[in-house]
Chain A
Amino acid sequence: MSDAKITPEIVAEHGLNAEEYARVLEIMGREPNITELGIFSVMWSEHCSYKSSKKWLKTLPTTAPWVIHGPGENAGVVDIGDGLTAVFKMESHNHPSFIEPYQGAATGVGGILRDVFTMGARPVANLNALRFGAPDHPKTRHLISGVVSGIGGYGNCVGVPTVGGEVNFHPGYNGNILVNAMTVGIAPADRIFTSQARGVGNPVVYVGSKTGRDGIHGATMASAEFSADSEEKRPTVQVGDPFTEKLLIEACLELMDTDAIVAIQDMGAAGLTSSSFEMASKGGLGVDLALDTVPMREAGMTPYELMLSESQERMLMVLQPGKEHVARAIFEKWHLDFAVIGRLTDTGRMVLTWHGETVADLPIDPLAEAAPEYDRPWEPTPAPAPLDPATVPVVPWTEALTRLMGSPDLASRRWIWEQYDHMVMGDTVQRPGGDAAVVRIHGTDRGLAATTDCTPRYVGADPVMGGRQAVAEAWRNLTATGARPLAVTDNLNFGNPEKPRIMGQVVGACQGIAEACRALDFPVVSGNVSLYNETEGQAIPPTPTIGGVGVIDDLDRMATVAVPAEGEAILVIGGGPADGWLGQSLYLREIAGREEGAPPPVDLAVERRTGDLVRGLIQAGRVTACHDVSDGGLLVAVAEMALAGSIGATLSVDTTPAALFGEDQGRYVVTLPEAEAASLLADLGGTARRIGVTGGDALVIGADSVALATVRTAHDGWLPGIMSSTPGRS
């Protein structure tokens, strides 16, 4: 090991400030060596310690009668009935994906899959939430292409369907794209695995891939702002091996069917350091590791490198004594490395040896408990000036609709999801393109619905309202399929929290998320925070992505967005005659080129009442299609339903931009047979209004119409168009 003197420069390179280093000295009672310093560095990084956000994360509601494990485990676990649970989490891989989009995105998928199968769940669905810079920015095309092939390259090979997601474009992401990946798995309720180590003397076992030098200091990189030379950090990006991950899933699930495992933890950010620390810390134990027994990919690796490597597809387990041979046989069958690398102890210390010589010796609890936690100064985001409706230009609705449907944030994502295997496992009941993806719970007639949502332009204008809206939209998207929303995972992506303005966005968004989760009984069960998404001082738009999961108890009573037949009545449920909120709308941005005003308010009581009503109608079989109204407003929602069913519509509505394209919240469009429309309207009273009838091959309002084919060309053509154009030339 290195006996290098720890200089202030070395401390700074490890991302620790003077105050934090003073705490290191206090805990150690001596100067740390380089390996120990490296361990402190990753354990106290923003990525691992949540030091800036912890105070605010604690304010989120995390419990409900159906929540089995909330935040704190590898993934959240909720009861879905019949002795089964849904296990899910979303995690960011933003910084690596910007530097090396293919591997960054691929390993993002790999990491989140491991978080889910570590708990004993078979992954059944992958989703993602992606944000790219301006479509015409010279890097955007390269980044889209790399990220999409990376997500596909990993998920397709592993054999877990990628069923849903969302994509936004905004110049605010030019220097920092966002790649948030979510996995949903299913596990038996009586067989959930956690990371809490138990049993002094029990063997600590390493399985999976060998350890190499990739990804050293990835967690530290993800905890700092980018600068112009960030691409030099490319060697800190890990390389994914989805084939090994597939073997690891099968081997772990096979071993989980025996009684050999006491505790299990994947090696994600900060690799062996964070996994061994977490297991021992949760069990109140110590751990001795003989680092020379770790399977290594290359010769000459040092203890420092072994502890900080972020090589992928690795797991750490504590086994029942005497069960090593059971586990070894399974891992050898799957051609995976297996090594007993240590034992649990009662010392409360992590002791690392290298060929018998002690190379690091640190106390576990003091290090974990003394992890810095900051109450960073924050400024509330100033309320935006309200939009003056008189200044909004009026464009004929036919032109506005075609432009909106072919605009970056609304155009079809087919070019993306056709590169993902969204059908493997044979349970994809609703493919990408609807409100939420639905996968059947294998072997049953029940389903899980899942969605990812956030509207960053709303959050930027008003973080509290934007935070609420992200949760409400996820809840609404699940509801629109007929699912009972159960819980969410959140992925909070922001700029540099040391700036009070940015910290104010974090605080506001957390407040809005907490309010909505409480009002909708939709608790946060897992999540991830990604800060320092800034380049050259320019922060991303605040993007707290919400991943929602719900359950459908009878797949025969599920709704899709597609107009099913001609001659059906079209109703809007929710909202009212005064609808017409254009502040922060896509109409304003795409047609007027302005991003202004306050976002549409979300009234959570109304949201809940309307959603419960719509879900009841779907479950009672009273509507034939359902779609929530979101980006682009009412006419865009109707157009999306018409395109999905290849059937047009004739509407009787005001043709003002506000009426057609206002983004008022808490609304759904439904269709139903004409003969049943009058009685449903009577039952719903003022909550619903009839807006038209399905049929034909155009969208018609009064004397004007636009052919579905025209809308489809704009909608389907945009993304393939930019991906086949030559960037940076005009």
Chain B
Amino acid sequence: MKAAVIVFPGSNCDRDVAVTLRDVTGQDPRMHWHADPDLPEDLDLIVLPGGFSHGDYLRCGAMAAQAPVIAAVRRQAQRGVAMLGICNGFQVLCETGLLPGALMRNRDLTYICKDVHLKVVTTDTIFTSRYDPARVVRIPIAHHDGNYVADLPTQCMLEDEDRVAVRYCDAAGRVVDEANPNGSTANIAGVLSENHRILGLMPHPERLADPRLGGTDGRALFTSLLEALS
């Protein structure tokens, strides 16, 4: 599986996701600088990592969405290349329009870093095939702007097209407001593109993919990708 991690100025989870990719796939991903418009054509997976691209100074992801590499990202998206945007990467994907909706300031207005429980809504994707839909998974979030907002027609479209990948839930798997850490519409934690080849995710699966760090629930996302894309 050939993967590239796009590095924006201010990305800070680029190394973390590269470590997980190498650990799961046995291959180092290409670390691709945002200013380089020439993205290799033979990639199986493009990752937009977490962090604070351009300091999040304008609006999270807005400046990164104008980076020189983005034209190539769009072209490859049209060709169906798999893409994973984590946290700031999800924000960038929304800003490019490759995913619908927007990520607003958390409901409580504070940055939140903690493990949350997630319900995998659909396992019929290249990202989630190795998850057991009956099991609640525990993965950390770490963001200030993770409150997913979509208008009603978009929400209906996402539901109808099975494009909500994961939702925040409690330890028992109930999708309830008390388990919603940031105020996201319908507890949405991750959404898919129309062709299900692009996933934007606020939680950080790369942070709990190594038993040493206290959990491995994030790992199945990468093993799913490895299985689908190699």
Could you list which residues of chain A lie within 8 angstroms of chain B, going by C-beta atoms?
149, 152-153, 156-159, 241-244, 246-247, 333-335, 417-429, 431, 440, 445, 555
Kindly list chain B residues whose C-beta atoms are within 8 Å of the C-beta of A445. Answer: 212
Docked complex: B171-230 residues within 8 A CB-CB of A: 204, 206-207, 210, 212-214
Contact with A along B54-89 (1 / 0, CB 8 A): 111100000000000000000000000000000000
B13 A335 Cβ-Cβ under 8 A: no
A425 B111 Cβ-Cβ under 8 A: no
Give chain B nearest CB distance to A622 CB in angstroms.
22
Contact with A along B5-32 (1 / 0, CB 8 A): 0000110110110011000000000000
Docked complex: B101-138 residues within 8 A CB-CB of A: 110-114
Give chain B nearest CB distance to A432 CB in angstroms.
10
Whether A335 contacts B9 in the complex (CB less than 8 A), given A157-B55, A429-B213, comes out as yes
Whether A423 contacts B207 in the complex (CB less than 8 A), given A243-B10, A555-B212, comes out as yes
Whether A334 contacts B113 in the complex (CB less than 8 A), given A157-B56, A555-B212, comes out as no
Give chain A nearest CB distance to B31 CB in angstroms.
12
Kindly list chain B residues whose C-beta atoms are within 8 Å of the C-beta of A244. Answer: 55
Distance of A423 Cα from B169 Cα, bound (Å): 21
What are 16 contact pairs spanning A and B, CB under 8 A?
A149-B111, A156-B111, A156-B113, A156-B144, A242-B52, A243-B54, A243-B55, A246-B9, A247-B10, A424-B13, A424-B16, A424-B142, A426-B16, A429-B213, A429-B214, A445-B212
Kindly list chain A residues whose C-beta atoms are within 8 Å of the C-beta of B206. Answer: 426
A426 B15 Cβ-Cβ under 8 A: yes
Give chain A nearest CB distance to B25 CB in angstroms.
16
Give chain B nearest CB distance to A145 CB in angstroms.
9
Give chain A nearest CB distance to B57 CB in angstroms.
7
B113 A421 Cβ-Cβ under 8 A: yes
Give chain A nearest CB distance to B205 CB in angstroms.
12
B112: contacting residue among A157, A333, A418, CB under 8 A: A418
B15 A246 Cβ-Cβ under 8 A: no
Interface class of chain B by DSSP: mixed
Q: Which residue of A lies closest to B109 (CB)?
A: A149
Kindly list chain B residues whose C-beta atoms are within 8 Å of the C-beta of A243. Answer: 9-10, 52, 54-57
Q: Which residue of A lies closest to B14 (CB)?
A: A159
Distance of A159 Cα from B55 Cα, bound (Å): 11
A423 B140 Cβ-Cβ under 8 A: yes
Q: Is the CB of B146 closer than 8 A to any CB of chain A?
A: no
Kindly list chain A residues whose C-beta atoms are within 8 Å of the C-beta of B100. Answer: none
Give chain A nearest CB distance to B204 CB in angstroms.
8
Kindly list chain B residues whose C-beta atoms are within 8 Å of the C-beta of A427. Answer: 213
B110: contacting residue among A419, A424, A429, CB under 8 A: A419
Kindly list chain B residues whose C-beta atoms are within 8 Å of the C-beta of A419. Answer: 110-113
Q: Which residue of A lies closest to B209 (CB)?
A: A426
Q: Which residue of B lies closest to A555 (CB)?
A: B212
Give chain A nearest CB distance to B171 CB in angstroms.
12
Q: Which residue of B lies closest to A415 (CB)?
A: B110
Distance of A440 Cα from B16 Cα, bound (Å): 13
Give chain A nearest CB distance to B212 CB in angstroms.
6
B16: contacting residue among A420, A425, A431, CB under 8 A: A425
Kindly list chain B residues whose C-beta atoms are within 8 Å of the C-beta of A431. Answer: 214
Kindly list chain A residues whose C-beta atoms are within 8 Å of the C-beta of B213. Answer: 423, 426-429
B10 A440 Cβ-Cβ under 8 A: no
Among B10, B113, B114, B204, which residue has the most Cβ atoms of chain A within 10 A?
Answer: B113
Distance of A427 Cα from B19 Cα, bound (Å): 11
A246 B16 Cβ-Cβ under 8 A: no
Kindly list chain A residues whose C-beta atoms are within 8 Å of the C-beta of B51. Answer: 159
Distance of A440 Cα from B140 Cα, bound (Å): 18
Kindly list chain A residues whose C-beta atoms are within 8 Å of the C-beta of B110. Answer: 149, 419
B10: contacting residue among A153, A246, A418, CB under 8 A: A246
Give chain A nearest CB distance to B85 CB in angstroms.
17
Which 5 pairs between the two chains have the least Cβ-Cβ distance? A159-B12, A243-B55, A426-B16, A157-B52, A421-B142
Q: Which residue of B lies closest to A723 (CB)?
A: B110
Distance of A431 Cα from B213 Cα, bound (Å): 9
Distance of A467 Cα from B20 Cα, bound (Å): 44
B13 A246 Cβ-Cβ under 8 A: no
Distance of A335 Cα from B33 Cα, bound (Å): 13
Give chain A nearest CB distance to B21 CB in angstroms.
12
Kindly list chain B residues whose C-beta atoms are within 8 Å of the C-beta of A335. Answer: 9
Kindly list chain A residues whose C-beta atoms are within 8 Å of the C-beta of B140. Answer: 423
Kindly list chain B residues whose C-beta atoms are within 8 Å of the C-beta of A429. Answer: 212-214
Distance of A22 Cα from B174 Cα, bound (Å): 76
Give chain B nearest CB distance to A455 CB in angstroms.
28
Give chain B nearest CB distance to A584 CB in angstroms.
35
Whether A418 contacts B54 in the complex (CB less than 8 A), given A156-B142, A157-B10, comes out as no
Distance of A418 Cα from B181 Cα, bound (Å): 12
Kindly list chain B residues whose C-beta atoms are within 8 Å of the C-beta of A418. Answer: 112-114
Distance of A334 Cα from B103 Cα, bound (Å): 27
Distance of A334 Cα from B57 Cα, bound (Å): 16
Q: Which residue of B lies closest to A420 (CB)?
A: B113
Kindly list chain B residues whose C-beta atoms are within 8 Å of the C-beta of A149. Answer: 110-111
Give chain B nearest CB distance to A564 CB in angstroms.
13
Distance of A247 Cα from B15 Cα, bound (Å): 15
Kindly list chain A residues whose C-beta atoms are within 8 Å of the C-beta of B9. Answer: 243, 246-247, 334-335
Q: Which residue of B lies closest to A447 (CB)?
A: B212
Give chain B nearest CB distance to A659 CB in angstroms.
35
